[in-house]
Amino acid sequence: MHKYEAKVSWTRGASEKFTDLRFSRAHQWAFDSGITLKASSSPSVVPPPLSATDAVDPEEALVASTSSCHMLYFLFFAAKRGLIVDSYVDNAFGVLEKNASGKMHMSRITLRPAVTFAGAAPSSADLDAVHHSAHEECFIANSLKSEIVVEPVVQ
């Protein structure tokens, strides 16, 4: 078992009444590595200036975490197959919409990785197999109810 920690901090501004719901959603994420990130609600959920447009929002972080986890497993399985990856770029996106109960949820995360290999690229079947293995092992994908779609971009 591994334990992962993040410190999430928010402080009400001195001039903010709070109960009128007009308070800043900007906050910080601090990790054990010493990295601190500016975070906020999504500007599409809580309009600026109550959200910070120069910060990471939870929805973006979820998409990035899913993409990153898939990529790390993809690189691992590609290396095990003797494939040499020169670059991996994923233009991932998530769709936030209402579910059947009318609650907002991340219904789908689409990964669109473009992978460049040294030498000849693997066959389509081999590439699909590496992506399939990565998807099956990704901790984040295994933790989510959302549909996760992998749409490899062929170079």
Question: pLDDT tens digits, residue range 47-83?
Answer: 999 999 999 999 999 999 999 999 999 999 999 999 9
d(CA 140, CA 107): 15
Total number of residues shown for the chain: 155
β-pairing verdict for 147-150 and 104-111: parallel
What pLDDT, in 10s, does the model give residues 107-120? Answer: 999 999 999 999 88
**Spans of all domains in the chain:** 1-56, 58-150
**Domain 58-150 CATH class label:** alpha beta
Q: Choose the CATH number for 1-56 among 1.25.40.80, 3.90.1150.10, 3.30.300.20, 3.30.110.30.
A: 3.30.300.20
Model confidence, pTM: 0.92
d(CA 75, CA 131): 10
Output the six-digit token pair for 11.
Answer: 């402080």
